[in-house]
Structure 1
Amino acid sequence: MESYYGMAVLVGVALLLTTGQCDVSCKGTDGRAGEAGAPGRDGFPGVKGEKGAPAVMDNGPVDVGVLLRLRGEGGSRGPQGVMGPKGYRGHLGPAGDPGEPGRPGPAGKSIGQGGQLSPQQGRSAFSVIRTDNSYPRYGQIITFQKTVVNTPDDFNAATGHFTCRVAGVYYFTFHSVAKVSVCLAIKSDVLTDKLGFCDYNRNNDQVMSGGVVLQLTVGQKVWLESFKEQQKDAEAQDSNEKRIIFSGFLLF
């Protein structure tokens, strides 16, 4: 009886399980995604790692790029190179500050009692003669072949220049003799224009003179030149005898 009763219970349970199963069309509703949680707190710093071992020299190929990034110790100063070409001149810069006054110069030399030149120092005179028969070329300084007086060598006959050595007032004069028309001029650093004189041919010897008083400073020059005005072209080829005398001396 008890066996029959147990069998009936098992059969009932089996039927209950069979009628409780869903077929293929039986489906439940999907659930929604959960929300993101709040961010967590930062963690604690980690423990410092141990110091690494020293690098070992590699016997393999060297990476040049790495070597260039590594800065070694400074080497010794090399020799100076060859100077390069001169650069272009730059713009003029602003004026600098005034410099300090220089040291006093050496004492000057005495030139005689009471500031006057001694008789020997105050001498200056010359007189020279041109003996060349050729016509003096236009616009060129006349040179001279014979020296009559030249004290103390203030006149250079080879260049035709008188150079002032003693500042003062001088008198200069010339005389010329020729059978053709001639124009001569006394020229100097102190004259802005030429001081010219001309004498034109009248089929005989032409005598011409000229003179001037000039106040000169040390280093200024005086000379004689030929210039063209109304002379004929053929006269410049004349080779007859000619004489030109040029003289000068210090007045005071």
Structure 2
Amino acid sequence: MFDHLLLLSPILLFLPLVITVPSPGGAPPTPCRRCCDDLELQKGPPAPQTGDQKSGLNQMPEVRTYINMTILKGDKGNRGDRGTPGKSGEEGATGSRGPMGPKGTKGQVGPPGDTCKTQEAAFSVGRRKSLHSVDYYQALVFDTEFVNLHGHFDMFKGKFNCYVPGIYFFNVNIHTWNFKETYLHIMRNDKEQAIVYAQPSERSIMQSQSLMLPLELNDEVWVRLYKRERENAVYSDDVDVYITFNGYLIKPTLE
């Protein structure tokens, strides 16, 4: 047996050399491949195995659900309620003071305050110009204001406006013109209340008249010079005050 193996050993050593030698003049021999090599090349290298796969455990394939949101989109909802406002920010720094604007025109005298709180009224005005009678009655207008509490006396019209009903005292002083008659009335609205009269004389004199009147709200008290049926006038010299008209509230009417 051993002798037979010794005889075969040289043959076995030369057998691979005979197989790999190419045949003369022919194509090079193709290497031997298995029938499943192509499939393994297409699949690529094997994925790394998890612990469960290594251990031989079977797993269920992962299922992912796809939802088409364009199909499930609903109608636009109503606008929600307004939220609570946030906290106020920090106050900024005070800006620089701007330039002073031009001086405005003087406004008109406003209406008096509540008569329940303003239980007082007084005025004293004067005139520095003489006045002669014309063909119509003239209101005596004054150009000098001594006292005009709360603006109740209208300097443009020469009339006192009653804003506080009650009992009032009034007084008028005039200077007559020599050789001319002096004829005036203290008026309440459109009715004569008292007369201021002086006959013509070669001397000019001071003449005065006083009275008390009950007044209602919005009553007017003023002095009227008679018209030219009587040639009359009051005198002044544009320097001294000869003509004055005064009035004040004695007692307000309590309602």
Task: Return the TM-score normalized by structure 1.
Answer: 0.47
* Rg larger for: 2
TM-score (norm 2): 0.46
